[in-house]
Amino acid sequence: MRRLSYILLFSLTFFSICIFPQDVSKIITELNIKINLEVLASDLFEGREATTRGEKLAQLYIISQLKKAGVKPFFENGSYLQKFDVNVSKTDTNSNFTFKVDDKEVKFKFTDEFFFRRGTNVEKLNSSHKLIFVGYGITAPEFNYDNYKDVDVNGKFVLILNGEPESDREDFFNGKQSSNYYKILEKIKNAKKHGAVGALLLADKQLLSFWPRLIGYLKRPNFSLPSKGQVDKQNFISAYLNKDSFKKLLTTQNIDFDKLLEEIKEDNETETVEFDGVLKFNYNKSKEVRQSSNIVGIIEGNDPILKNEYVAIGAHYDHLGVIDDKVYNGADDNGSGTVTVMEVAKTLARTKANKRSVLIVFHAGEEKGLLGSRYLTDNLQLIKDKKIVAQINLDMVGRMATDSIYSIGSEKLSSELKKIVEDVNSKTVKFHLDYKYDDPNDPNRFYYRSDHYSYAKHGIPIVFFFDDMRKDYHKDTDEVYKINFKKLKKLSWLVYGITLRIANLDHRLIVDKPVPKG
């Protein structure tokens, strides 16, 4: 066993000499990674929730380590911090909606039976509306299909099923593959287009499976970036219903839910039903403005021309904070990615071998909806000037097998990037790179769910490394003692190698594929 360890160490050192300017095994150490994580994922940092004291403590520590490593602040005022405002709102847990038919009133409780979709922008809604069932809520002229045909929903709420008509024919809603009409956003756009003021939507199976876990989060504040431009004048409100509450609502009209689904499945036709009765929301939401910050450092390139282009390395440093007096330390999510980026930054700053400059970015508010990366990429001039050639994202990378990591998105925009990742990996740490989540039909949609997507939507090639740890995901049991530090050291080597390879290309990384839409 000891001999095998010596062989592995020799192999890694030999290959590092081949592609690295010096032996990085003397710079990247498990001990340093472990010390940093033990600090960041300790109770002292209170779970590092965005806009809280814990986040600010994490900022101070990360910045202290960047300074120690020789990573310079990116911003011209000498600061590492990119500050931004965050709207923090909370829905009153006593909120509800009722449906009244004659003298009978049926009540639906917030979180237990329904919840409002993110993006609902109405501060208070205490009004009454008519309700119309419109099947799947789809208007698809190319398939001669329209759930809104001959029905007036102007000023009313619509009740909508999840999914779309089922078919084996590829010329009808793409057959067995989901079409664009399947998406909730498309259904909501269509409802607005027809003049509806709100929508009640049946949650799909995936969302229903997460419902019990969601309840805890729904009772907590919601975070969002301030809106740019004009606020939606329609004050459109949308909410998800679980299966029981959808059935309960149909029962007020003596409609059997299961029988309705059977009839729709038989001929893919749905009859609109204008409900007898009145829908009324009792909805209150408080709102305040707080502040959060991305942390951005720079390692300047050593080529007088290429240093004006950048390779970005990133990880989000926030987690969930304190919930019911339990500290959610987020050792893997995403303490592991944060300390790995810190280690790579230290190594790059010490070796000074990069021709292009390297941005070291610790994103804030990822857990609140990619807030930090969205703000940075929407407001950073380097993005607008197309100066960032690639982005490497680490989010949950310290658990599961030592010799395997999920690689996501490396070929979505650039075939060349995937080849670079594989070549550097084969010459150094030899991870098994698992591409399972690159499948466009994968229901998890991880490509759209972490900070790299904020870059990819601007046409910047990305690679996202991920361990898919599920046992302790978003739980207070995600602790340091469960982290695989050998894996983090190997990943540090790999990310350093990929960064250096891209930074030293004699050409700009080739983008040969269109930007995927989320």
Does 4 have pLDDT greater than 50? no
Give this prediction's pTM.
0.82
Report pLDDT for 217.
Answer: 79
DSSP per-residue letters across 81-112? EEEEEEEEEEE-TT-EEEEEETTEEEEEEBTT
Average pLDDT for residues 119-131, to the nearest whole number?
A: 74
Average pLDDT for residues 197-202, to the nearest whole number?
A: 95
Report pLDDT for 21.
Answer: 63
d(CA 89, CA 109): 19
Q: Give the range with max mean pLDDT: 120-129, 282-291, 467-476.
A: 467-476
Does 367 have pLDDT greater than 70? yes
Report pLDDT for 119.
Answer: 64
Average pLDDT for residues 203-226, to the nearest whole number?
A: 87
Go through the domains of the chain in sequence order and give each one's CATH number.
29-89+288-503 (3.40.630.10), 103-276 (3.50.30)
Average pLDDT for residues 352-381, to the nearest whole number?
A: 97
d(CA 475, CA 479): 9
Torsion of CA 341, 344, 350, 354, to 10 degrees: -110
Which strand (E) or helix (H) includes residue 237? strand 237-241
Q: Give the range with max mean pLDDT: 20-29, 121-130, 281-290, 450-459.
A: 450-459
Average pLDDT for residues 109-137, to the nearest whole number?
A: 84
Average pLDDT for residues 478-498, to the nearest whole number?
A: 98
Q: Which two tokens stand for residue 327?
A: 């500290």
Q: Is the dihedral of CA 438, 338, 38, 497 positive or negative?
A: positive
Report pLDDT for 45.
Answer: 98
Average pLDDT for residues 207-227, to the nearest whole number?
A: 86
Residue 159 · residue 249 · CB < 8 Å: yes
DSSP per-residue letters across 289-321? EEEEEEEEEEE--SSTTGGGSEEEEEEE--B-E
In this prediction, residue 175 has a pLDDT band, given cuts at 50, 70 and 90, of low
Report pLDDT for 9.
Answer: 43
Q: Which residues pair with 150 in a beta bridge?
A: none
Average pLDDT for residues 247-261, to the nearest whole number?
A: 94
Does 22 have pLDDT greater than 50? yes
d(CA 247, CA 253): 10
Per-residue pLDDT of 259-296, as tens digits, reads 998 888 877 778 899 999 999 988 888 889 999 999 99
Does 12 have pLDDT greater than 70? no
Per-residue pLDDT of 374-425, as tens digits, reads 999 999 999 999 999 999 999 999 999 999 999 999 999 999 999 999 999 9
Average pLDDT for residues 213-239, to the nearest whole number?
A: 77
Which carries the bigger pLDDT value, residue 16 or residue 70?
A: 70
Which carries the bigger pLDDT value, residue 176 or residue 221?
A: 221
Does 139 have pLDDT greater than 80? yes
Does 328 have pLDDT greater than 70? yes
Average pLDDT along the chain: 91
Radius of gyration of the chain (CA): 25
Report pLDDT for 303.
Answer: 98
d(CA 20, CA 492): 13
